[in-house]
Amino acid sequence: MSSGPRGRRLEIRGTVQGVGMRPFVWRAARDCGVAGRVRNHAAGVTVEAFGTAASLDALEARLRAGGPPSARITSIGAEEIPAEDAAAFTIEESAGADERRVSIPPDLSTCPACLAEVLDPSDRRHGYAFTNCTGCGPRFTIVRDVPYDRATTTMAPFPMCPDCAREYRDPADRRFHAEPVACPACGPRLALRGADGAAMAGDPIAVAAAALAGGRIVAVKGIGGYHLACDATSPAAVALLRERKRREAKPLAVMVRDLDEAGRLAFLSDAERELLASPERPVVLVRRRDGSGLAPEVAPDGPIVGILLPYSPLHHLLLAAAGRPLVMTSGNLSEEPIAFRDDDALRRLAGIADLFLLHDREIEARADDSVARVVAGRPLVMRRARGFVPTPVLVRRPFPLPVLACGAHLKNVFCLAARGEATLGPHVGDLDDLETLRSFEASVARLERFLRIRPELLAHDLHPGYLSTRYARERSLRDGIPTVAVQHHHAHAAAAMAEHALEGPVLALTWDGTGLGSDGASWGGELLLARYDGFERLATFRPIPLAGGERAIREPWRLAQVALDQAFDGDPPAGAFPALVAVPEADREVVRRMVAVGVNAPVAHGAGRLFDVVGALALGRGVSRFEGQVAMALEAASDGGADGRYPFAIDVASTPWQLDWRPLVRAAAEDVLRGVPAGTVSMRFHRALAAAGAELVRMAAGRHGRLPVVATGGVFQNARLAGLLVEEMAGRFEVYIPGRVPPGDGGIALGQAVVASAIAAS
C-alpha cells in the first residue's frame, strides 16, 4: 500500500450542527496531522481530509469514538477521494442542499463554563442573561431555516462586536461558530413592562425579583415561550396565580437554584438527580418532603411535585436574585397554547401577570418545558418538548414514503417521518379549540419546511371527531395524499416497538383511559399480539358503562356507583362511601336507570376507568378537575410497605378474554368500609393490576410463545404500577417500557407513522 498522500471524505449524520462539531473535527485533524476542510450542510457535516493512510485512519477513529458532548452522531460514512495538495485544515462556510435532515440540536441548558462567566464579576459577560457557547444555549426555538447559521436564526439582527467576532472565528475557542454568541455590547437585552404594556425603569432582574418576593406574578420570557412565575413558598401568591390562570388543581412546576435546593424540597434518588441535571432540563416529578417550605397550593392534590433546574442564564440570575424557589408554569390560560410572541403575550397574559420580564430576541417556535419522571429505575418522558425536540427517533425499518402522522386529540404531538428517521414535533396540547389547532398547523408547516419533506402518506387516529383526524382528511382532499387510519392502541404498541427497535410480534399491554376500538367501542385495557402491519386483540378489561358519557370521566362517583352495583349484583353494601354520600340519592338513581335501559351509558374497557372507581371509593374523589387527577392521587397515596393484593378473575370463555375486576372492587370496597387506610387499599389495588397484567401475558405466551412484552399507554406513566409489573415479569419475560417517547398520547404519532408505513407497503 502506498504511503503517499491519500484523500478521504467522511459524511457525519445526526445532531451535529450547533454543538461544536466543526471545531471538534478541526482540533482532531490538527492533532492527527491531517489537512483538508470541514463544512456544515443541510444533511449534516462533511469532512474532506488529506494525509497519509495512517493519519486518515487516526482521524476517522477519533471521530467514530464520539464528538462533542451535545452531539448525537448517528452514522459516519467514508469513501476514498483523490488526494489534494492542501496546506492546512480549514473550516468552511455552510453549503445548501436539497436533502434535509434534522441536524439542529434541541435547546441546550447553560453549561458550567458559561455559568461561571455569568457569575464572575471580572468577566465581560458577568450578569449577562444571553451567554452561550457551542455547548449550550437556544437552538431549535430560534432557527428559521437550515443549514444552521446565524443568518438563519433570530440572532441575525444582532451584529457581533469585535470581541464576539474574534471568538466566533477562532477554531480553538469554545464559541467558534456558536451562532447565538453575544455579549452585553452587541447582543439581546432585557426589558421590563407593566401589565398595561408600558415600559418600566430599573434593573430588570432586580425589579422582577423584588416583585416576586412581594407576592406579585411576573411573566418571564424564556427560551421557548413565556412562563408565569411567583414565589413558590407563598400560599397567597400561588393561590392568586391559580385564580388568574384558571388552573384550579393541576400541579405547578417549581424551579430551584440547584440540586442541593431540590434535595431540601423533595426526596431524590440518584436517577432523579441525574434526570434533573441532564442537558434537557425537564420538569421531573418527585415526592415532596414534609415541611419543605413549598406552599401547599403548588400541588394541592398530594405529595408529588414537579421540580426543574434553571436552563438559561436568565433563570439562574432571577433565581439568585429572588432567593427562593419560584413557580414556573406555562404562560397561558389553562389549556391554551403557551405564549411566545411578545405582542400575543402582552395581550393574553395582561390579566394574569403584574409585570413582564422580556427581551428583544425573538422566539421562532414555541416549546413548552418537557416533563419526565423515573419509572422502573429509568427516565420516562411524559411530555416531549424543549430539550428533546427535534432529535429524531431512529427506526430499524426505513420509511418507503414520507409520512405525516397527526397524533391524538389529547396531549397532541405529530410526527414527520422519512428514510430511517421519525421526528416528533413539539408538544401542542389538547386539540380542544381553534387556537390550539392553529398552533398544530403552524408547527406542522414549520417542520415540513425545515426538513423539506412533503408527506406522501397521512396517518391518523380512527376517531372521526378528533381535530387531528379532520386535519388529515381535509389535507388529503386538498393535496391528494392518501390516508391510513390507525387504531389507537395499535399505535401505542407500535410506538414502543419502534423506540426499542423490536421487529415484532410482541405482546403489548396497552392500558390507558380511552381510545376508539376497531369495533366502535371504547378500548383502554388491552393485551394485543402486535405487529407493525396489524394486531390481534387477545384480552381486555371487563367493560363498565359510562353513565352520562364523558361526564362519567369528570365525575368518577358515577363509575363507582356502577362498579359497586355490578360487583355486588345490584345489592352493594349499605356503608357510607364519602364520594357517594355527597351525591343526592335522586342523581344516583338516574345513573342506575341510564345503565339499566342503556341510554347515554356507552361501555368502556379502559384501565384508567378502574383507577377512577377505586380512587372514588378509597380517597372519596367523586369529582375529577383535570384529566388523570384521580389516578395520580391514587398512585401518590399508595403505601409501599402495605401487604396483600386484591383478587381478580379472567374470563377465558369470552373473545377476547376479559379481566374481570368485580372481585377486586368487592374486596376494595369491603376494606374501605372496615376502615383500612387508603394507602393500603391503593397498594393492594396496584399489586392486583400488576399481577393481572402478568397473568394475561403468561396465558398469551402459552398460546403464542415467549415473545417480548411492551407495557405502554398513559397508565404506565404510573411509576408504582410499572415497577410492580416489571417485578412480576422478572426472570420470565423481557419488558419494554417507553422512555424517550411518551407512553401516553404524546407518543402515539410515532406509532401511527410506522403502522401506516407498514400497511401501505404490504
CATH number of 384-498+745-761: 3.30.420.360
pLDDT band at 574 (very low <50, low <70, confident <90, very high): confident
Radius of gyration of the chain (CA): 27
CB 211 within 8 A of CB 50: no
Average of per-residue pLDDT values in the chain: 94
Q: Do β-strands 35-41 and 44-51 pair in parallel, antiparallel, or remain unpaired?
A: antiparallel
C-alpha cell at 27: 482540533
Q: Which CATH number fits domain 6-91: 3.20.20.370, 3.40.50.300, 3.40.1050.10, 3.30.70.100?
A: 3.30.70.100
pLDDT band at 202 (very low <50, low <70, confident <90, very high): very high
> Which stretch of 4-8, 65-69, 241-245 has the lowest confidence by average pLDDT?
65-69
Handedness of CA 48, 49, 53, 56 (dihedral sign): negative
pTM of the model: 0.92
CB 232 within 8 A of CB 323: no
The residue to which cell 411492551 is assigned: 710
More confident residue, 430 or 505: 505
Span 576-600, pLDDT tens digits: 899 999 999 999 999 999 999 999 9
CB 401 within 8 A of CB 457: yes
- Once rounded to an integer, what is the mean pLDDT over residues 720-747? 96
Q: How far is CA 67 from the centre of its chain?
A: 26
Q: How far is CA 350 from the centre of its chain?
A: 28
pLDDT at 330 over 90: yes
pLDDT of residue 100: 46
Given CATH 3.20.20.70, say whether it is the number of domain 522-528+540-736. Answer: no
Span 71-83, pLDDT tens digits: 778 889 999 999 9
CATH-assigned architecture of domain 190-359: Alpha-Beta Complex (3.90)
pLDDT at 101 over 60: no
pLDDT of residue 177: 82
Selection from 469, 195, 445, 212 nearest residue 321 by Cα: 212
Domain boundaries, the chain: 6-91, 190-359, 384-498+745-761, 522-528+540-736
Same fold yes or no, 190-359 and 522-528+540-736: no
Span 13-47, pLDDT tens digits: 887 876 778 888 998 999 999 999 998 876 789 99
Query: How far apart, in whole angstroms, are the C-alpha atoms of residue 437 and residue 432?
Result: 8
